[in-house]
Amino acid sequence: LKSILRCCTLRCGIRNSASPRQKSFLVTSQWYPEVLMDRGRTGLEPWKIAVIVVSAIAGAALIIGLITFFLCRDQDRYYNASFLITNVDYKSQYERQTTEEFRDLSQEIETMVSEVFKGSFLSKRYIKCHVVSLSPDPAGVLASVVLVFKFASSDSKTTSWGRVHRVLRRRLTTSSNSLNVDLSTLSVAELNKEKGDDLLNNCCGIRKQQFSFTGVERIIGGQRARDGEWPWQASIQLDGTHRCGASVISNTWLVTAAHCFRGVRNPRRWTASFGILLRPPKQRKRVRKIIVHEKYCDFVLDHEYDVAVVELDPPIEFTSDVHSVCLPEATHVFPENTSCFVTGWGAMKNDGYSVNQLRQAEVKIISTEVCNKRHVYGGAITPGMLCAGYLEGQVDACQGDSGGPLVTVNSRGIWYLVGIVSWGDECGKRNKPGVYTRVTYYRNWIASKTGI
């Protein structure tokens, strides 16, 4: 505003002190419009000044608002903490994240750390704690955890780190927990977002957010999945067209149903895609190798040995939307009535078409005894199979869901692969629940082929 006014005065000055020749030039010049001549005579009109002042104030307010927004915005900060637990002896089962021993000790540690932060001044900033490893130590078990907090962007990194470290140091031993922590071994390091996400995404069976379920949940007429809800779900495609579902079990291996490859086992014709949409997918990878169970037979319709593993090349880039599900131990028993979720791009009615957006359905495990009853499958369910759904029908997997995951969540919030969509008498029919390949039954076969 000041410079415009100065410019105006200057121009008025020139005009007043101009020679007659200059004056005639100013008046006649097409480069100097009439409006400026008027402004020269009278100064800026009040309404123009008002517009300029209001715009300047609005601009300043906008800039201040943006600065405040960026400074006060919350951002996730990740920390890696490790400490020694002295009253627990190390067991070999702690090597694998999927054992019950790992789950139980991790759950105790996570509860202890959560209580520590929830009872502190950081309670509103604390988001979660996740145990990433339990290692042997002559004096007990060394736990390594990833901690996630929401701090304001304006909080300096050193201050935030100091607060996290201080709370752990002060409260870790005073918490009402049965675990003894040797505080002299405590170390806390800040991780950048990429490293923190990497550590979490490399743990199987975790989801970034908690999702709540609303509405009717079934693939037939059911509910659409949201981004990152089932990050292990893959689509196996023949010549670029969706054929079957599959589950990510590592960055190079998928597990699926053997019958998906009926007639076509040439890996070059197959690809795998990831993300909730078939088109466009989040990632797409070539298939390097297809290993179908040796005892599976395309021509025998008993649906036995309906399992296959698929190797990808290049490997998947793990993100919060694409990563692996946990495989249960071979000895694990999922009891009847356990709540599970089946997901897929399959048909919404028997003999219907596949859909573009992933769908989910909640189903319950039905005991083999009930499923083998005469009015159900009359003895066709073998030990390598498992039934899930409802005897009243309606909620079920369908064509195109084959090979896809049936999963359940444990008390720690970790998701496990219970079954592989295999077969059924049509879809959603009364007394004809979905039949799945029982993953625990083939757990050792999967390990023998993939090393996982």
Residues that bind ligand 4AZ (CB under 6 A): 396-399, 401-402, 421, 423-424, 427, 434
Give dist(CA 68, CA 240) in Å, integer. 48
Q: How far is the CB of 245 from ligand 4AZ (least distance, A)?
A: 9
The residue among 74, 92, 226 whose CA lies nearest residue 150 is 74
Q: Is 259 a catalytic residue?
A: yes
Give dist(CA 209, CA 360) in Å, integer. 17
Q: Which of 130, 242, 259, 323 is catalytic?
A: 259
Q: Is 111 exposed, middle or buried (0-12, 13-18, 19+ CB in 10 A)?
A: middle
Give whichever of 106 and 422 is closer to ligand 4AZ, judged by the CB atom: 422
If one counts every other C-beta atom within 10 angstroms of the C-beta of residue 127, the result is 13
Q: How far is the CB of 223 from ligand 4AZ (least distance, A)?
A: 17
Residue with tokens 């059911």: 222
Q: Is 339 a catalytic residue?
A: no
In the structure encoding, which two tokens stand for residue 444, read together?
């050792």
Q: How far is the CB of 385 from ligand 4AZ (least distance, A)?
A: 12
Q: How far is the CB of 428 from ligand 4AZ (least distance, A)?
A: 7
The residue with its CB nearest to ligand 4AZ is 424
Q: Are 211 and 226 in contact (CB under 8 A)?
A: yes
In the structure encoding, which two tokens stand for residue 367, read together?
């005991």
Give dist(CA 90, CA 145) in Å, integer. 17
Containing 67, the helix (H) or strand (E) segment is: helix 46-72
Give whichever of 155 and 306 is closer to ligand 4AZ, judged by the CB atom: 306
Q: Are 167 and 109 in contact (CB under 8 A)?
A: no
Give whichever of 228 and 419 is closer to ligand 4AZ, judged by the CB atom: 419
Q: 76 has which bridge partners? A: 150
DSSP labels for 396-439? ---TT-TT-EEEEE-TTS-EEEEEEEEE-SSSS-TT--EEEEET
Give whichever of 125 and 243 is closer to ligand 4AZ, judged by the CB atom: 243
Q: How far is the CB of 401 from ligand 4AZ (least distance, A)?
A: 5
Q: Which of 155, 197, 306, 321 is catalytic?
A: 306
The letter for the amino acid at 112 is: M
Cβ-based neighbours of 425, under 8 Å, separated by 6 or more: 377, 432
In the structure encoding, which two tokens stand for residue 345, read together?
């791009």
Q: Is 178 a catalytic residue?
A: no
Q: How far is the CB of 400 from ligand 4AZ (least distance, A)?
A: 6
Q: Are 133 and 202 in contact (CB under 8 A)?
A: no
Q: How far is the CB of 198 from ligand 4AZ (least distance, A)?
A: 35
Give whichever of 203 and 421 is closer to ligand 4AZ, judged by the CB atom: 421
Q: Which of 247, 354, 402, 422 is catalytic?
A: 402
Phi, psi of 258 (to 5 degrees): -65, -35
Q: 78 has which bridge partners? A: 148, 191
Give dist(CA 316, CA 248) in Å, integer. 9
Catalytically active residues, by annotation:
259, 306, 402
